[in-house]
């Protein structure tokens, strides 16, 4: 990471690196973008590998991307600890077919132990396909100890 990146921006780039290093993301063509504190986007592509038997994206794709976007929106505000999802509520509004999708996550409340964030999936036509709200709590896991989290501000 360039030495001129510090503070929140360094933390955000380190979270993006952490996302990219997660083994689960080998199954998805996706990229995390921390836009600013409390705002995260995941750009990903749905293809036929993600389909259920009726020819549209399986709910696992919806959940993963909504949970990740909401999670990273919340964890963008926490520089020392990894957050854990404690609950997630999901609403499907339309089927996703093959193509690009963006999961937009936004922190809503909480700054100490429990955080609440929401997220929505936007398809290639600009239509909302799903939305979800999650609660996340601080764990005992130090971000700096996780493989993939590389922050120059530590």
**What does the pLDDT read at residue 6?**
77
* C-alpha R_g of the chain: 15
One digit per residue, the tens of pLDDT, for the chain of length 154 reads 344 457 999 999 999 999 999 999 999 999 999 999 999 999 999 999 999 999 999 999 999 999 999 999 999 999 999 999 999 999 999 999 999 999 999 999 998 899 999 999 999 999 999 999 999 999 999 999 998 998 554 4
Please list, in sequence order, all residues whose beta carbon lies within 8 angstroms of the beta carbon of residue 125, skipping any fewer than 6 positions away: none
CA dihedral 89→91→96→99, nearest 10 degrees, is -50
| CA separation for the pair 25, 50 (Å, rounded) | 13
pLDDT in tens, 34-60: 999 999 999 999 999 999 999 999 999
Gap between the terminal Cα atoms of the chain: 12
What are the chain's domains? 7-145 (3.10.129.10)
Q: State the Cα–Cα distance between residues 120 and 8, nearest whole angstrom.
A: 24
């Amino acid at each position: 990471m360039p030495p001129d990146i510090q503070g929140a921006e360094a933390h955000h780039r380190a979270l993006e690196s952490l996302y990219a290093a997660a083994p689960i993301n080998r199954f998805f063509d996706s990229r995390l973008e921390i836009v600013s504190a409390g705002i995260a986007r995941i750009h990903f592509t749905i293809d036929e590998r993600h389909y259920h038997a009726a020819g549209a994206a399986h709910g696992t794709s919806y959940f993963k991307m909504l949970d990740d976007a909401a999670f990273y929106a919340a964890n963008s505000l926490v520089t020392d600890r990894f957050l854990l999802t404690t609950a997630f509520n999901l609403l499907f509004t339309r089927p996703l077919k093959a193509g690009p999708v963006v999961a937009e996550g936004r922190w809503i409340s909480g700054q100490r132990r429990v955080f609440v964030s929401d997220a929505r999936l936007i398809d290639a036509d600009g239509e909302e396909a799903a939305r979800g709200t999650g609660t996340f709590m601080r764990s005992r896991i130090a971000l700096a100890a996780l493989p993939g989290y590389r922050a120059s501000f530590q």
